[in-house]
Structure 1
Amino acid sequence: MAWVLVLLAAFFSVAQAAPRLERQGSAPTVSFDWFEYTGKDAVFESPLPAGSYRNPILAGFYPDPSVTRVGGKFYLVNSTFGYFPGIPVFESSDLVHWRLLGHVLERPSQLRFDGLGISRGVFAPAIHHHDGVFYVLNTLVDSGGNFISTAKNPAGPWSDPVWLAEIDGIDPSLFVDADGKAYVLNNGVPPEPPKYDGHRAIWMQEFDLQRMKLIGPRRVLLNGGVDISKQPVWIEGPHLFKRGEWYYLMCAEGGTSVNHSEVILRSRAVWGPYAPYENNPILTQRDLPKERANPVINAGHADLVEAPDGTWWATLLGSRPYDGVNYHTGRETYLLPVTWKNDWPVILEQGRPIPHIATAPKLPNANRDVAPLTGNFTWRDEFDRRELNPAWLQVRAPKRQWFDLASEPGRLNVAPTDERLDGKANPAYLGRRQQHLAFEAGTSLRLPKEPGVAAGIAAFQNGQHWYFLGARRDGDAVQVFLEKQNGATTQQLAAATLKSTGDIKLKITGEGREYSFYYDARGWQPLLKNDDGSILSTEVAGGFVGATLGPHARLEH
């Protein structure tokens, strides 16, 4: 009888921890037939010479890349902030062509995203491998703090978070020395009252890999930045690695905007003291002319990896503005070679722009049979798989499953919810990243016969900045409408009435700042052309994410 009680207790414990993944029983259903996205960036039109690769290697909202190598394979993770599933895990054999294996946070029970802004949640992850185990360290901002998840297989399943309650701050990372001792580094408050706004410090503490617990004293490795007399801001994203007799401490400095940079220090001892490179920063774009063609800005938050042939490479983030300032594609993942100069790693000499085409790593077994993640391409989902394509994201972790691919094979059926795009829960919205400055995104949908439902395609930056190109029943006809959320103001910008009651086709196009909206009525008809879409830019909307696009449905009252 005792074992029965144990099983019952375990069952109820799991039931309480897991979200309710059930559909709304009486809700009408919207049916989407397909979704298609096409990128048309001018900078990607240039032919790619043999032996070259294109930057960014991951276009669109793929910020804060961290990379590690196991044998002949590389593994890379990115931030996802308030989106679910969280922290994509990519695999590559040549650092250029990447395959999405899965996500670290794929179960809603792993973390709580309730009520978080879209740019809170899951900040910069760091991936490491040691003795057959993959480790991802991360911070859940505003909802738990720093944690570690582990997996034997990078495709998952990944463990529930192990919380590092002893440390504050953000951007934890792991270093395992040759003697087997492990250390956790992170950004935290300085040891004394901050001397200026943005004054932070890099801390380190020993970590017991067997007990998954921080041990021993916590010490400051770097206070303020490479030269605290100059009041450097936001020293963060620390990575510690060893080459030869030197320990290297590499960090981002200057904040995540146009003054972003990467700096390097070194020491003969793991605990320091760490001396800075005299020619820091080893990566930045902040000193280049703003008027340059096809600029990459915000460059920083780098990680280094050594390839099997002994070459070193850096993954880093950057952004592509369409007017020198505004960008909707978020912070993207770039790849650059690392040059060693007098035992110092240099990612990019100061004054040089990040190239859009560069010489590729000379690595064998390149896996080119992967979905394109950069360049110009067309991506189409026919909704004919048994599971949702892993490219789709939800806003925050779901409490129930409101979409269905099984009841009508070849279509995505969505049960609309009361949650709007400007709420703080999980709206019935699936978003895929906007990866180009010039694009088209369209869908075909069937409305339910009942009134009180709006459905269509959204372009979403955060809860206060989005478009919704939707359709709703209007008596025996259908009204197509366009809403725009700009801060606290929601406007209906345009509307049109269709007599057709069959499938409705809608399309959004973007060309830099200008967004246009179309519906199909015996051919594509403009509902509104060339609207100022800068509300989708990070500069206007704030935060750390890029825009996403995809199907959305809601109940109307």
Structure 2
Amino acid sequence: MRPIVALTALATVLFAGQAAAQTEARFTDTWLRADHMVDQNYPIDVPEKPGYYRNPILPGYSPDPSIDRVGDAYYMVNSTFAHFPGIPVWKSTDLVNWTQIGNAIDRPGQLDFSGLGVSRGVFAPAISHHDGTFYIVNTCVDCKGQFVITAKDPAGPWSDPTWLPFGGIDPSLFFDKDGRAYITWNDGPIGGSTYDGHRAIWMQEFDPKTLTIAGEKKQIVNGGADFSQKPIWIEGPHIYHINDWYYLMPAEGGTAEGHSQVVFRSKNVWGPYEPWEKNPILTQRDLPRDRANPITSAGHADLIQTPAGEWYAIFLAVRPYGDDLYNTGRETFLLPVKWVDGWPVILDRGKPIPYSEKRPKGLGDAPQANPYHHNVRGYDPMKWLSIRGASDGFLTVSDGGKVMTVKALSQPIGDVNAKPAFVGLRQPSNFTAMDTKVEFSPNEGDRAGLMMVQSDDAWVFCGVTKRNGVSEIALIQRASKDDPRDGVVLNAQTVDAKDGVHVTLGVRREKLYCMYNPAADHMTTDMKRLAWDADATVLSTRKAGGFVGTLIGPYAYSQKP
């Protein structure tokens, strides 16, 4: 079957409860569900037990965590790259249960993601609090570089960016006990790189009142913990002043299976910083790849101390379902930190990251939301993400979030200059599905349904279309940049779509399935299989590339404006 061609123009949606127009798709009863126990051949069951929590604390696409504590509350942020709204802000009182309270990038005028690939945009935000003000420093890759935003309330509103005049990525603020502030970041070393992945950590003083940097910048680490080993991609630095020592803690080894966390210390904030002889203080790269239920690629950590004096680390890691294959992206984990001879250790070398660990002392025992089971119905504007811009140009929501009406645009998935009519939720598990009822009257080449998106070049669509004058339910896939931009039709069946079609799109680890049932049949529990064992690995980070995780949600597209 030939690929479906697609193209149209941006317009606003006007929907006030009437039936969807011909260029609109109406989605009702949209339901995201995920459960590791759906397949008994892959049994991960970590029951909640008193005094323990379960990892990950943020399942699905929640990379590059940064944390700060203000009084009894903890605040955390993550990367979102070219998705919008950007930089989710989370709050917790126990380090285990997290509630999203806002997004730091929630106005289109703050950052412009136009023309950016999905894995460009905002990298590795770092949150800090000082003297009644919250700060986030961040890099907008390929969109003006380093910036700082501020807020009095972490829920927002956050300020427009103030741009900072230095290159590199991964800036982080450190406020010392004397009130002085410093910013550290990753950039190329003095004299240039001598091998691939050769980077350095830099530092400069920061004025929190004027949001400017001043004085001379200084390279404080060249290469990594052991330069003789040609360490790669030293990044994500954080500084802490603990007792009489300044600790510098960056990630090292790249964000894949070689990822790790290392630590340096000095008596002076400017160094010289000496590495610990027993680095790394967190890694999984030395463990057998064929171990059961592995957690891999751990690093990019940040430390926090509880009021009881305990130290904890948040960090990113992944849960692969195969040989370095995962579609969920990098997730946020939590582990206690122990101190060995004056050095922080997140995890002993050679030990696997545990799925369950003891809770922090004195922070309560509120039941933890199960990280292995998700049941989300309807639309929440704080959590649903669009690509390269706000969704208010094509999306209207009614009936308390139960109805999502999407204007079918001519801006398709796969075009980095487009803002497609797509909104999605993060895939939280290796067993995830979304159900919806879609009502759509397609013209030739139009389509509306559910889509799983990993990148501009890696996505899967399951929904209604029209080809050669015939309405169909179709499974369409783009597996790489070598495929046509509009994808390849894997399977299609004629369907009576006049009363809408129930659609399910889901994954079981490496297997992808697409099911449907015409609404006129009134048998939503008796779905027909358009595909049951299609290849879901095309949505894995290893094959698709980039730094994000898969999103799943409604998509609508029209060939004609």
SS class of match (1:535): helix
Q: Distance in 2 between matches of 1:186 and 1:449?
A: 50
Q: 1:125-144 to 2 correspondence within 5 Å?
A: 125-144=125-144
SS class of match (1:69): strand
Match of 1:111, as an amino acid? L
Q: 2:371 aligned with 1:374, yes or no?
A: yes
> Does the CA-based 8 Å contact 2:414-2:456 persist in structure 1?
yes
SS class of match (1:229): helix
Look up the match of 1:471: 464
Deviation at 1:342, TM superposition (A): 1.4
Q: 1:492 aligns with which of 489, 493, 497?
A: 489
Listed one character per residue, the Cα deviations across residues 93-116 of structure 1 (whole Å, up to 9, x for unaligned) are 000000000101000110010010
Q: Distance in 1 between matches of 2:442 and 2:279?
A: 64
Look up the match of 2:198: 199
Q: Distance in 2 between matches of 1:389 and 1:51?
A: 34
Deviation at 1:390, TM superposition (A): 1.6
Look up the match of 1:435: 428
Q: 1:508 aligns with which of 505, 508, 511?
A: 505
Deviation at 1:305, TM superposition (A): 0.3
Q: 2:30 aligned with 1:31, yes or no?
A: no
Q: 2:422 aligned with 1:413, yes or no?
A: no
SS class of match (2:196): coil
Deviates more, 1:292-301 or 1:432-441: 432-441
Q: 2:106 aligned with 1:114, yes or no?
A: no
> Does the CA-based 8 Å contact 1:477-1:501 persist in structure 2?
no
Look up the match of 1:393: 385
Deviation at 1:366, TM superposition (A): 5.7
Q: Distance in 2 between matches of 1:452 and 1:482?
A: 14
* Alpha-carbon distance change, 295 to 449 in structure 1, aligned in 2, over 3 angstroms: closer
> Does the CA-based 8 Å contact 2:22-2:440 persist in structure 1?
no
Q: 2:415 aligned with 1:423, yes or no?
A: yes
Look up the match of 2:57: 57
Deviation at 1:23, TM superposition (A): 4.0
Q: Distance in 2 between matches of 1:49 and 1:406?
A: 40
Match of 2:351, as an amino acid? R
Match of 2:475, as an amino acid? L
Q: 1:82-231 to 2 correspondence within 5 Å?
A: 82-165=82-165, 167-231=166-230
Deviation at 1:448, TM superposition (A): 3.8
Match of 2:154, as an amino acid? P
Listed one character per residue, the Cα deviations across residues 296-331 of structure 1 (whole Å, up to 9, x for unaligned) are 110000000001110000000001111131000100
Q: Distance in 2 between matches of 1:452 and 1:538?
A: 30
Listed one character per residue, the Cα deviations across residues 217-269 of structure 1 (whole Å, up to 9, x for unaligned) are 00011011111111100000000011100000000000001110000000111
Look up the match of 1:453: 446
> Does the CA-based 8 Å contact 1:56-1:332 persist in structure 2?
yes
Identity %: 43
Q: Distance in 2 between matches of 1:339 and 1:529?
A: 47
Match of 2:141, as an amino acid? V
Gap runs ≥5 in structure 1:
1-19
Match of 2:98, as an amino acid? W
SS class of match (2:217): strand
Q: Distance in 1 between matches of 2:23 and 2:488?
A: 26
Listed one character per residue, the Cα deviations across residues 327-378 of structure 1 (whole Å, up to 9, x for unaligned) are 001000000000011111000000000001111112335665x8x4722121
Deviation at 1:552, TM superposition (A): 0.4
Look up the match of 2:306: 307
> Does the CA-based 8 Å contact 1:70-1:129 persist in structure 2?
yes
Match of 1:435, as an amino acid? P
Look up the match of 2:35: 40
After superposition, the CA RMSD in angstroms is: 2.0
Q: 1:552 aligns with which of 545, 552, 555?
A: 555
Q: Distance in 1 between matches of 2:129 and 2:399?
A: 41
* Alpha-carbon distance change, 24 to 117 in structure 1, aligned in 2, over 3 angstroms: farther
* Alpha-carbon distance change, 212 to 312 in structure 1, aligned in 2, over 3 angstroms: same
Q: 1:517-528 to 2 correspondence within 5 Å?
A: 517-521=514-518, 522=523, 523-528=526-531
* Alpha-carbon distance change, 141 to 437 in structure 1, aligned in 2, over 3 angstroms: same
Match of 2:492, as an amino acid? A
> Does the CA-based 8 Å contact 2:391-2:423 persist in structure 1?
no
Match of 2:140, as an amino acid? L
Match of 1:455, as an amino acid? A
Listed one character per residue, the Cα deviations across residues 103-131 of structure 1 (whole Å, up to 9, x for unaligned) are 01000110010010111111001010000
Listed one character per residue, the Cα deviations across residues 453-498 of structure 1 (whole Å, up to 9, x for unaligned) are 3100001100101101120357997310111002121210111112
Q: Distance in 2 between matches of 1:375 and 1:408?
A: 27
Match of 2:474, as an amino acid? F
Deviates more, 1:234-243 or 1:409-418: 409-418
Deviation at 1:406, TM superposition (A): 4.2
Q: Distance in 1 between matches of 2:228 and 2:315?
A: 27
Q: Distance in 2 between matches of 1:114 and 1:321?
A: 32
Q: How many residues align?
A: 530
> Does the CA-based 8 Å contact 1:476-1:499 persist in structure 2?
no
Runs of 4+ in 1 over 2 A off after TM superposition: 20-28, 42-46, 362-368, 406-410, 448-453, 472-478
Q: 2:476 aligns with which of 483, 487, 495?
A: 483
Q: Distance in 2 between matches of 1:471 and 1:27?
A: 13
Taking structure 2 as the reference length, what is the TM-score of the superposition?
0.91
Deviation at 1:21, TM superposition (A): 8.7
Q: 2:77 aligned with 1:77, yes or no?
A: yes
> Does the CA-based 8 Å contact 1:197-1:233 persist in structure 2?
yes
SS class of match (1:539): helix
SS class of match (1:540): helix
* Alpha-carbon distance change, 27 to 123 in structure 1, aligned in 2, over 3 angstroms: farther
Look up the match of 2:345: 346
> Does the CA-based 8 Å contact 1:429-1:552 persist in structure 2?
yes
Look up the match of 1:10: none
Look up the match of 1:244: 243
Q: Distance in 2 between matches of 1:355 and 1:407?
A: 42
SS class of match (1:123): strand
* Alpha-carbon distance change, 448 to 407 in structure 1, aligned in 2, over 3 angstroms: farther
Look up the match of 1:11: none
